[in-house]
Amino acid sequence: MWSLLTVLLALSATFIRMGVALVVTVAVAYAVGYAMYKSRRVEAIALPVLDVLQSVPILGFFPLALYVFITLLPAVGAELAAVFLIFTSMAWNLIFGVYQSLKTLPREYAEYARLYLNERLSLGHVYVPAALRSVYYNVLISWANAFFFITASEVITLGTEIKLFGIGSLVVSAFERNDYATAYVGIVAGVLANLALYVFVLRRLVEEVPQPPAYLLEKLAVWVKHGFYVVLGGVALFLALVIYYALQSPISAPVLEDLWRGFVNSLLDSPYTLARVLTVLGISAALGLLTLAAVVKRPRLEVGVLISLSILSSVPAVFLYPLFASFVKGEALALVLLIPGGVVYTVFNLLAARRDVPLELVKAYRIGGVVYYLHVLIPASFPYLVTGLLTAWGGAWNATVVAEPLADVTGLGSYMSSAAERGDVAGLLASVLVMTSIVVAVNKTVWKKLYEAAARWRS
Amino acid sequence: MALLEAEKIKKTYGRVVVFNDLSLAVEQGEFLALLGPSGCGKSTLLRMFAGLEKPDEGVVKFRGEPITGPRREIALMFQSPTLLPWKTAMDNVALPLVARGVSWKEAREAAARYLAFVGLSGFEEAYPSQLSGGMQQRVALARALAVEPEVLLLDEPFSALDPLTAESLRAELVRLWHDNLTTVHTVVIVTHSVDEAVYVANRVVVLSTRPAKVVADVRIDLPYPRNRKSPDFQRYLDQVYSYI
């Protein structure tokens, strides 16, 4: 009874924290997305910066969270740090979502706004509502992603460990104490709460795209118009603090040596993680295509698939871990923990390809078997497959920082999380840099090429 | 002084020269049809009159004053209805009035009037997705009329509609203008249909391919509403066709 109450309180604490982070995220997404849409200069700077930021694993933000918030504001710093970390696992797709939906708004709407409206009304009644569909959809994704990393946000370790009261830290602590009852109650409660949230709130937002009342939209318009300057101010303050701390601890020979060692270890551990990520992508692609083929055949399956996906995405790896650990160990366990994320992204995107499969042609000419897969299904869904795999690629690398240590296997994710635990800032920095570079470099080469190939196909 | 004037305008997009020294004046009270091959710059000229684009050289004027941006006296209707899908028909019409300082209550009253005017009474609370293409374009027309402009600019407003719907809207538009039922006294319509031009306009200007030049400027001296079967109508059709 007592533990059930604790679990419920912990769950509420986590949800409140995530709710606060979500509100901040949506506000920032609108402000930055609109500024990028409005100004080519902002767009040119923000796009590559966001591209890199979305590839930085959550542990990469630990030093920032710790030094800026906890050192500066001892009283409330830990809470702020947690909200900040949750923000980093929610923000990037939402900013891109707002930016892209404004960017793809037909030109006539922008002209209509210029001809007939002022900026406040344009924002409140044209631009903010136009991005809502994408915002709601990305809220769903962001929430799931933030929950996946909830233990990392609530248990901040960098030498010293800071644990905040919440469902993520509660489950971790319970496992550490071998208090399996509490841990399982926590896991079930977390899964159920997310499921309820999906069924009663998030699914409706995505399906019905409800419009906020006019007065709220017009208030939001004021923020969207000026918010970018607030965000810029915040970023500037952040950078100033980081530089200040960096200058206080000048780079000495031992630090350089630590960094060097960190880089070498990171590079040595990367191939293991790379192999795991590629396996996850392969399995995700195969599962995604099979699911697409099934849904094309029986469209009624789509709802069921979507519900299963959201259940899958609302269960964080650390919550799955005790369940799977009793069946599999080591390498297999790492893959089992990584696959859900990859599958969710790939299948989600591939399902959107359903309408692009020329079903009547297939029926009229009785195309089936291998020919159907190779010459109809895969080409028709290729752009969606690329988008899904691209997202899964970045997501899988970042997920290894949680999955690899749980499975106790060698890899970049394990190295990074152990560096954080030891308080080895140089090692953490080096491994974050290596991971981010790998993700961004492959995005810019392989995925970009595939994207271009897909675009050529479609037009 | 002409009401709308383009004086020796030049406009290029990259290496594409759209206008090189084009001049055109529109007098008050005219219903002018701009005809020309696709991509000749008809829409660009219309958008310059609307204040959405500026010429690289030369000047576009309204009552002798250079047009530097959108003006209240001039309304533009797009090829697609461009309605906000999240607003009812009434609020779509009312919003531009609110932007001009009218309260929501008064704006909605005016919107209801203009919706009735275009034959949409009873559809005030309908969302665009619940309306047919023709009805959506009617809402767009009501929206353009509700701001009480003097000049109505129309960019191929009927080209996306089925022929029957287009025909009834066309006749209605001519009636609104000819019988002075609204504040609009001057209309400029961009079209690629010779028949439509001769049916609605009292002046047809034919533009050439890029860079656009005026190849013909024909006054259509026929009474409204026009009869397509009359020999005079056929004569005008043949005449305009000969320039294309």
Domain ranges, ordered by start, for chain B: 4-73+149-241
Domain of A280 in residue numbering reads as 252-459
pLDDT reading at B152 higher than 90: yes
Q: Is the domain of A197 the same as that of A237?
A: yes
Residue B126 to residue B185: CA distance in whole angstroms: 30
> Do A458 and A339 share a domain, yes or no?
yes
Boundary of a domain, candidates A250, A267, A287 = A250
Average pLDDT in chain B: 92
Element (H, E) at B154: strand B151-155
Residue written as token pair 């930085």: A56
Q: What's the pLDDT at B23? A: 92
Host H or E run for residue A172 = helix A167-176
Say which DSSP state A39 is in. Answer: -
Last residue of a domain, one of A183, A217, A250: A250
Contact: B80, A108; criterion CB under 8 Å: yes
Per the listing, tokens 């392989």 go with A446
Q: Which fold has domain B4-73+149-241?
A: Rossmann fold (3.40.50)
pLDDT for B186 equals 95
Is the Cβ–Cβ distance between A272 and A410 less than 8 Å? yes
Domain boundary among A232, A250, A268: A250
Give burial (CB, 10 Å; 0-12/13-18/19+) of A359: middle
User: Do A246 and A377 lie in a common domain?
Assistant: no
Q: Chain B neighbours among A 107-126 (CB < 8 Å)? A: 108-109, 111-112, 114-118, 121, 125-126
Name the DSSP class of B182. Answer: S
Buried/exposed code over B210-226 (b: 16+ C-beta within 10 A; e: otherwise): bbbbeeeebebebeeeb
CB-based burial, A91-117: b 16+ in 10 Å, e otherwise: bbbbbbbbbebbeebeebbbbbbbbbb
What burial class does residue A183 get, using C-beta atoms within 10 Å of its C-beta: 0-12 exposed, 13-18 middle, 19+ buried?
buried
pLDDT digits (tens, 9 = 90+) for B57-69: 999 999 999 999 9
Please list every residue in chain A whose beta carbon sits closer than 8 Å to the beta carbon of residue B114.
none
**Tokens coding A446:** 């392989």
Residues A137 and A165 in one domain: yes
| B100 min Cα distance to partner chain A (Å) | 8
Which residue in B164, B153, B129, B160 sits closest to B43, CA to CA? Answer: B153
Q: pLDDT higher for B181 or A12?
A: A12
Helix A128-148, helix A214-248: angle, nearest 10: 50
For B186-217, the pLDDT digits (tens) are 999 999 899 999 999 999 999 998 888 899 99
Phi, psi of A375 (to 5 degrees): -110, -10
Please report residues of A whose CB lies closer than 8 A to that of B70.
114-116
- A126–B50 C-beta distance less than 8 A: no
Distances (CA, A) of A457 to A361, A410, A454, B56: 18, 40, 5, 37
Q: Are residues A443 and A336 in the same domain?
A: yes
Q: For residues A109 and A237, state if they share a domain.
A: yes
Q: Residues A51, A118: one domain?
A: yes
Q: How far does the CA of residue B234 sit from the closest CA of chain A (Å)?
A: 36
State how beta strands B65-66 and A160-163 pair. Answer: unpaired
CA distance A228 to A41: 13
Inter-chain CB proximity A117 and B80 less than 8 Å: no
CB contact (8 A) between residue B86 and residue A129? yes
d(CA A65, CA B58): 58
User: How far away is chain A from the Cα of B53, in angstroms, using its nearest Cα?
Assistant: 10
How confident is the model at residue A250, as a pLDDT? 63
Looking at the fold, whether A195 and A316 belong to one and the same domain comes out as no
User: Residue A1: its pLDDT value, please?
Assistant: 62
Between strands A160-163 and A155-158, the pairing is: antiparallel
Cβ–Cβ below 8 Å for B96 and A116: yes
Is A116–B52 a contact, with Cβ atoms under 8 angstroms apart?
Answer: no
Mean pLDDT per 10-residue interval, chain A, length 459 residues: 84 95 96 94 92 87 80 81 92 92 91 92 94 91 86 81 89 85 86 86 86 89 94 90 77 78 93 96 94 89 82 72 79 90 87 82 80 86 88 90 90 92 87 93 90 73
Residues A296, A231 within the same domain: no
Contact A106 B99 (CB under 8 A): no
Q: What percent of chain B has pLDDT over 70?
A: 100
**Is the domain of A381 the same as that of A304?**
yes
Token pair 């000047």 is found at B59
Give the three-state DSSP class for B7. Answer: strand
Residues A275 and A398 in one domain: yes
Torsion of CA A168, A389, A63, A41, to 10 degrees: -130
Residue ranges of alpha helices (H) inside A298-329 are: 301-313, 317-325
Partner residue facing A121 (CB), from B50, B52, B99? B99
Taking contacts as CB-CB distances below 8 angstroms, the residues of chain A near B47 are 111
Cα–Cα distance list, A150 to A162, A201, A249, A394, A411 (Å): 14, 20, 31, 18, 21
Q: What distance in Å separates the CA atoms of residue A6 and residue B73, rounded to the nearest whole number?
A: 66
Best mutation target among A109, A114, A116 (most B Cβ atoms within 10 Å) is: A116
Residues in chain A closer than 8 A to B87 (CB atoms): 125
Nearest to A263 by CA among A409, A418, A435: A435
Do A206 and A102 lie in a common domain?
yes
CATH number of the domain to which A263 belongs: 1.10.3720.10
Contact between B82 and A114 using a beta-carbon 8 Å cutoff: no
Q: Looking at residue A452, what is its pLDDT?
A: 84
Searching chain B, which residue's CA lies closest to the CA of residue A116? B96
Q: What is the pLDDT of residue A194?
A: 86
* Cα–Cα distance list, A73 to A7, A77, A242 (Å): 28, 5, 15
Give φ, ψ of B5 to 5 degrees: -145, 130
Burial (CB count within 10 angstroms: exposed 0-12, middle 13-18, buried 19+), residue A300: exposed
Residues of B in contact with A116 (CB under 8 A): 70, 95-96, 99, 143, 147
Domain count, chain A: 2
Can you give the pLDDT at residue A45?
93
Highest mean pLDDT among A366-370, B36-40, B45-49: B45-49
Residues whose CB is less than 8 angstroms from the CB of residue B127 and which lie 6 or more positions away in sequence, other chains included: B85, B86, B87, B88, B89
Within a 10 A sphere around the Cβ of A164, how many other Cβ atoms?
19
Bridge partners of residue B76, in order along the sequence: B153
